[in-house]
Chain A
Amino acid sequence: MGNRIVVPFGSQHVALPEPVSFLFETQNEVITDVQVNIGYVHRGIEKAAMTKFEFTQLPYLVARVCGLCSITHAGAYTHGIEKLLGIETNKKIDYLRMLVVELDRIHSHMLANGHVAEVVGYENLFMQTFRYREDVMDILERITGNRVQYDYQVIGGVARDFDKEIEEFARKKLLKLKANTEKLMEFFENDYTFGLKTKGVGTISKEMAAKFNTAGPIARASGLETDARAEYDYLPFEEVGYKLQTRTEGDVWARNMVRFDEIMNSIEMCLNILDGIPEGEHRVKVKGRPDGEVFIRVEAPRGECFYYLKGNKTKVLDRVRIRVPTYANIPVLKELFVGEKYSDAQAIVLSFDPCMSCTAR
């Protein structure tokens, strides 16, 4: 029986992309208890949304909840406000929104898988994954004008129109990305040493995923069939080939693989969207002030993102509540650590693709 040792992990640590603190209690290198502190970067975005900004400005504010899934946040908010205002958008707007949402998912998943590769010791694989990811960043830049904070989804539509030249550019890049992703998948799926470091590590059973209300790829890697794209009508995903992806192993390896499955499905969806973008305006007229309440669920790359909006016929909303997927996944992460080796903690945390920027919005 070894001594009980308490090991702090974060808030600043080489393996952590963002500040979160875990205090691990360990015995013989095995974690026996963990405390979590997630309040290092609280930015008061909900408070600002209810006091400092008019509802028309909020797509730009909520997009800054997260650098990676800013499209999703702006999309959830604009969808909610459009419901409150009774605005009907057209099919072209739906298709352009789906296109950027799926492109966003692709680059976010590639970033997550690249980070896992890095912490299990594959620095070249990390760099290669990020190099391939540049193609999707280029497409997003062409469509939206920005590489990171897109501000593309606005109330009543999208900020920029789409043309044939962008369509051809995006198609070419997506086909290249598809071929490159297949190469990456082959390695992540079959490499023996990579498997030793990720298979059977940090395993969440389907029952545990349900018990702790796990969200997104973490839940789907454990066989839990949940995805806001399938459970809530906000964009016509099924029309462009959306298929719910699951794996059953529930470990670090499966979380990577389910992300690759989703990347491949998103590439197919994007190609189908490019084949069928309808004619029409990219923005419709917006008038009125929001009144009433609305509950919105959208599927961000990391899982279900929930918005509650309450208006009172003024320019400033009564309540803006944002529940992000990392926030929903912290309870299962905390439980999961107990019984795992401390040396696997980095891979487990990164396989969750945590976003503290979202969590402490």
Chain B
Amino acid sequence: MMINPEVTFFEVTLDNVVDLIKNWYNEEKYNYVTVNATDSGNGVTIDWIFSKYYDKNKLVVFRAENVAYDAKIPSIVNVVPSAWIAEWELADLFGLDVENAAKGVFIEPDAPQAPLRKGDNNGK
């Protein structure tokens, strides 16, 4: 069920998401909010979320569903320079393989690893 009529979704894959965002994104019109992962227990759904400046109630979400835990997640840093921080957090908190992500920035090496992972390797 979708409660927010103001959200526009684009279904994407890990292969085309960077190109789609690159062709669509305009930093003067859109604000990159974050990248979010939701673990279903069998894989993750990844949302790249943007809001529109100066406009009421406009959100755009690029959504990749059923992403395997061991998939290589592409980085959008070359399109959105501020994206690294949320990408690195995905790598730390979900144990995902995100392109060019440094590990250990959000949680220390002796902390439980991938704490938000529900499926395999939970708390590895």
Contacts and interface: CB of A to CB of B under 8 A. Distances in A.
A210 B36 contact: no
A42 B54 contact: no
Q: Could you tell me the dominant secondary structure of chain A's interface residues?
A: mixed
A44 B115 contact: yes
B38 A319 contact: yes
B53 A295 contact: no
Contacts of A295: 4, 7, 49, 59, 61
Interface stretch (B12-20, B64-72, B100-108): B100-108
Contacts of A328: 33-34, 82, 85
Contacts of B7: 295
A291 B57 contact: no
A213 B80 contact: yes
Contacts of A39: 92, 104-108
A235 B8 CA distance: 22
A310 B61 CA distance: 15
Interface of A: 36-40, 42, 44, 46-47, 50, 83-84, 210-213, 224-226, 230-233, 291-295, 297, 304, 306, 308, 310, 318-319, 321, 323, 327-328, 330-332, 335, 360
Given A39-B106, A297-B59, A331-B84, 19 more contacts: A36-B105, A46-B93, A50-B116, A210-B28, A211-B27, A212-B81, A212-B82, A213-B80, A224-B53, A225-B53, A231-B51, A233-B56, A293-B3, A295-B4, A306-B34, A318-B38, A321-B38, A323-B33, A332-B82
20 contacts: A39-B104, A40-B108, A42-B107, A42-B108, A47-B115, A83-B3, A83-B4, A225-B54, A226-B31, A226-B54, A230-B56, A297-B51, A297-B59, A306-B34, A306-B49, A308-B49, A319-B36, A328-B33, A330-B85, A331-B82
